Amino acid sequence: MSKAYGRFGALHRLSMAVPEGSVFALMGASGAGKTTAIKILLNLITATGGTATVCGVESRTIGPRALAQIGYVSENQVLPVRLRVHDFFEYLRPCYARWDRDLEAELRDQLRLPPERRIGELSHGMRLKMALACALPFRPKLLVLDEPLSGLDALARDEIIDGFLRQAGRTTILISSHELDEVERFATHVAFLHEGRLLFQGSVAALAEHARPLLLAAERRGDRPSLRAIFVALVRAARQSAAPPAGQSP
Amino acid sequence: MIGQILRKDWKLLWPMVALVTAIQVAFEWIGYFQDSPGAAVLLGPLTLAWHIGIAVMAAAVVLQDPVPGADQDWLIRPLRRSEVIVAKLAFVALTVSLPMLALNMAHAMAMSFPFALSLRAILFKELYVFACFIVPVMALAAAARNMTEVFLIAASLVVVYASSLTLSAYLMDAGWCPTCETGVSWLQHLLQHLEVLLGACVILVLQYHRRRTEAARAVAGLGAAALVFLQLPWNTAFAVQGWLTGSSGDAAAIAIELGPQTPAAGGADGAGGDKDHGARHAATLLLQGHPDQALEYWRRRGRPADRPAAVEVPVRVSGIPSGELLLLDRLEVGLYADDDGRPLYRRRNADVSPMSLAAQPGDTADSSGPIPIAFQVPGGVYRELRSRTTRLRMDYSLTLVKEVARYEMGAREGLLRAPEVGVCFSQLDQDSISVRCSKVGRSQFCYSATLYGPDGRHNPEILKCAPDYRPYLPPLINALNFFGLDLPVRDPYGLSRYAVDPTALAASHILVKIYGERDHFKRTVAVPHFRVGAAT
């Protein structure tokens, strides 16, 4: 799929597949097109070209039935700020036929969400935890996390990661992040985006194999190169291939 | 899910609901005592507060789940967007329309209006307010992310509307509005309301079905521009009104012709014979308690050289059935070249009051003298045509009204209850008796009152006719309509003497007559060989 805002191309013929049951990390620097791709998948914005299929449904026609199987957490998610935490849970419960109240209670307890506080009074981290606690009790088939770790302290990150990793295996998790070191801990599959273009997608093991020739000698040391090193190598290679041959002006 | 969304919005907005309901209660409570001076002062600000309160609440409920943007939580929840908008509409219906209906009903019951009649009128009013005010505001809010954007969009639409007005004035005529300030203006309003409602529905569908915010905003802008240009031509509007009213056949005998001393026929100044009539006309206006109109009448006759010329043509109206009145809805005057029929000057005469052609109440047909019809000609046109022979054509759009009911009530502290008038009270003020009526549903546009003394003598009948032929388009805030008039009992300047002794008012009574429209029709008067200079 492609997406352009006027003359600016945010996504260039992105083509990828997220395997069922995987923890799929969509990675790239800020502005690489990760959020745009996710919003197209959830029909929050419309692609300029191409199509996407989510849980067997074409994303442009995604409706309540498909959305009932998708959990979504985003750093930009606009929640009803004047509603109290427990009121919001109360509001959401009837939306989902498979809502598990025990799991809800467990998550609220684990993430220490204050029931009487208004959502607008919660800190950024607490709001993300709240969004996560609302995205899990109905046991979604697909959990989409858009920069869920952005701007969080280490403790909050661990709580969030622990929270959604409880679903790993039963739920397909698509997580977008530019926090390469954190994602490395749990991702089974990765895709690298750079300036709207897909540099690589595949399993973490395949990634290491794919990137090995691109890595500098210093970066190859150790059993397994880091995602950070691979990403830098991929971007470097992409820039080189895009640059004009020596002697020609760009 | 509709109930779930309703409950959520209630939790968020109940303080605003309470505030708007309080404004409504205050308005109804004070409206009940509206004749007191304090109430009159408060009703204006309360009316404004009511409009703002309801508009803000209608927008606020939509903005709890804004449509534009891609970050709102509700967009990724398994909610049908149709359910969301239905819940929003239901919320406003339950928290604004229902309390308003209950309060209006309470007011109507407190004034002892019939229950069924009141319920029907008030229900219709609530539907009208909902469709023509609340839904458009909600549509506007559906195209905005927050309240600031709502205000910005609304302000932009006002600018678009004002620009369209300016453009229409530039392209056509500054006063281009064929039906404005006439009895059929309601058709224009209805058309505009329908356009607003249609535009609102299109915006809601665009937003809640397709989430096309830019297209929705474009529709709003185009709609605001089109409001100015969507005008009903006069002939169409008048024909529609005639079709709606039907025809009694009474108008067939009515004729309009030039008066006995037509300036064109006489070829003289044309003012000699009319001066007596003019004096009589001014004196009549004075006796009827309209000194301002009498003064204006004389002022118009004395024209400084550089100002537009007031051309006066006496006409005689015949064939008006007894007890019926003829109202002039519109007069279009044209001056054409006598030789080739080329139009030289044409205008709709906005200065003619609806009373101009009315036979005076109580007159029998043909008993009234020639009526001077005045129209203004710009100074330049006048100088050019002053001594030239032209052909004058006057197109009259007329309405025949007939007395449909008459009632008596006490002159002092009198009370009258009747289906046609609702409830009326009479009260003696300093120099006049004020008669004030309130009625559920359609208001009366033509009525008269005459003060009768204990000896049977009576003061001049005071007639109030402001043509408004709408079946029933209620004001937004209240289903009650208010109307009335003042009957002068003494002249503070001592110029007029009235037949009824002001000290005998306790034993006097007022005769109230209500008139309803019977026919809408047209007549044309053509005057060949007409000289403008001879008629000023």
Statement: residue B267 has pLDDT above 60: no
- Mean pLDDT of the residues in chain B: 84
Residue in B224, B68, B219 with CA at minimum distance from that of residue B149: B68
pLDDT tens digit sequence for B455-478: 888 888 888 888 888 887 776 667
> B137, B16, B11, B9: which is closest to B64 by C-alpha?
B9
Mean pLDDT to the nearest integer, B475-483 = 76
**Following DSSP, what letter does each residue of A140-156 receive, concatenated?**
-SEEEEESTTTT--HHH
When pLDDT is averaged across residues A3-23 and rounded to a whole number, the result is 89
Helix (H) or strand (E) holding A202: strand A197-203
Judged against a pLDDT cut of 70, whether residue B525 lies above it is answered with yes
In the prediction, which pLDDT does B365 show?
Answer: 42
Q: Give B228's pLDDT tier (boundaries 50, 70, 90).
A: confident
Task: Say if residues B436 and B482 touch (Cβ distance below 8 Å).
Answer: yes
> Taking 70 as the threshold, does the pLDDT of residue A205 lie above it?
yes
- Closest residue to B1, CB basis, from A45, A87, A94: A94
Interface of B with A (CB under 8 A): 1, 4, 7-8, 11-12, 64-65, 69-73, 75-80
The pLDDT, as a whole number, for residue A144 is 93
Coil, strand or helix at A47: coil
User: pTM, whole model, 2 decimals?
Assistant: 0.82
Average pLDDT, integer, range B162-166:
87
Of A67, A91, A94, the CB nearest to B76: A67
In this prediction, residue B176 carries a pLDDT of 67
Judged by average pLDDT, the poorest of A114-123, A219-228, B63-72, B129-138 is A219-228
pLDDT value at A249 more than 50? no
Question: Whole-angstrom Cα distance, residue B127 to residue B89?
Answer: 12
Residues in chain B: 536
Find, in chain A, the residue whose alpha carbon is nearest to that of B8.
Answer: A91
Mention every residue, 6+ apart, whose C-beta is less than 8 A from residue A25: A175, A176, A177, A183, A187, A189, A190, A191
- Cβ distance of B77 and A79 shorter than 8 Å: no
Segment of A231-240, B132-141, B304-313 carrying the highest mean pLDDT: B132-141
Q: How far is B170 from chain A (nearest CA, A)?
A: 36
Q: What is the pLDDT of residue B272?
A: 38
Question: B233-237, B281-285, B339-343: which range is least confident on average?
Answer: B281-285
Using 50, 70 and 90 to split pLDDT, how confident is the model at A210? confident
Tokens standing for B274? Answer: 């009319």
Nearest CB neighbour to A80, from listed B12, B76, B79: B12
For residue B66, give how far its alpha carbon lies from the nearest alpha carbon of chain A (Å): 10
* pLDDT bracket for residue B367 (50, 70, 90): very low
Chain B CB contacts of A63 below 8 Å? 78, 80
CB–CB of B446/B515 below 8 Å? Answer: yes
Share of chain B above pLDDT 90, in %: 35
The per-residue pLDDT for A243 is: 60
pLDDT band at residue B415, thresholds of 50, 70 and 90? very high
Asked if residue B275 lies in contact with residue B334, where contact means CB atoms within 8 angstroms, the answer is no
Tens digits of per-residue pLDDT, A85-95? 999 999 999 99
pLDDT number for residue B22: 94
Range of lowest pLDDT (A197-201, A203-207, B347-351, B375-379): B347-351
Least CB–CB distance from B79: residue in A39, A78, A95: A95
What was the pLDDT predicted at B274? 47
Q: Compute the distance between CA of residue B16 and CA of residue B3 in angstroms, rounded to an integer.
A: 19
**Per-residue confidence band for A105, with pLDDT thresholds at 50, 70 and 90:** very high
CB-CB contact of B120 with B104 (8 Å):
no
Question: Residues with Cβ < 8 Å from B161, sequence gap 6 or more?
Answer: B224, B225, B227, B228
**Which residue has better confidence, B443 or B75?**
B75
Q: Return d(Cα B209, Cα A172) in angstroms, integer.
A: 29
Segment B152-161 mean pLDDT: 95
**Better-scored residue on pLDDT, B51 or B281:** B51
User: pLDDT-derived band of residue B150, with 50, 70 and 90 as boundaries?
Assistant: very high
B364 pLDDT more than 50: no
In the predicted model, what is the mean pLDDT of residues A40-67? 91
Q: DSSP strand E in B382-500: where?
A: 390-410, 415-418, 422-428, 432-440, 446-452, 462-465, 480-488
CB B244 within 8 A of CB B471: yes
Between A221 and B144, whose confidence is greater?
B144
- So what's the pLDDT on residue B49? 92
Q: Using the predicted structure, report yes or no on whether residue B269 has a pLDDT greater than 60.
A: no
pLDDT exceeds cutoff 80 at A125: yes
pLDDT(B374) > 60: yes
Question: How far is the alpha carbon of B151 from chain A, nearest alpha carbon, in Å?
Answer: 21
ipTM, 2 dp: 0.87
- Tell me the two tokens of residue B535: 């008629």
Minimal Cα distance from B68: which residue of A? Answer: A44
pLDDT at B391 over 80: yes
Mean pLDDT over each residue of chain A, to the nearest integer: 85
Nearest-by-Cβ selection for A64 from B12, B64, B79: B79
pLDDT of B316 higher than 70? yes
Inform me whether the pLDDT recorded for A57 exceeds 70. yes
Chain A residues lying within 8 Å of B8, measured CB to CB: 80, 83, 87, 91
In the sheet where A142-146 sits, what is the strand order?
A70-74, A142-146, A172-177, A23-27, A189-194, A197-203
Return the pLDDT at A248.
45
Give the pLDDT mean for A205-226. 70
Q: Is A79 on the interface with B (CB under 8 A)?
A: yes
User: How big is the A-B interface in CB pairs under 8 Å?
Assistant: 53
Residue A222: pLDDT band with limits 50, 70, 90: low
Contacts of B3 (CB under 8 A, 6+ apart): B87
> How many C-beta atoms lie closer than 10 Å to residue B519's C-beta?
21
Interface of A with B in 81-140 (CB under 8 A): 82-83, 87, 91-92, 94-96, 131
A77 touches chain B (CB under 8 A): yes
B3: left (phi over 0), alpha (psi -120 to 50) or beta: alpha
Question: Which residue from B90, B99, B89, B93 is spatially nearest to B28, judged by alpha carbons?
Answer: B99
- In the predicted model, is pLDDT for residue A232 greater than 90? no
pLDDT surpasses 70 at B229? yes
Of the candidates B213, A199, A39, B216, which has an alpha carbon nearest to the alpha carbon of residue A48?
Answer: A39
> Cβ of B64 and A39 within 8 Å?
no
Residue B154: predicted pLDDT: 95
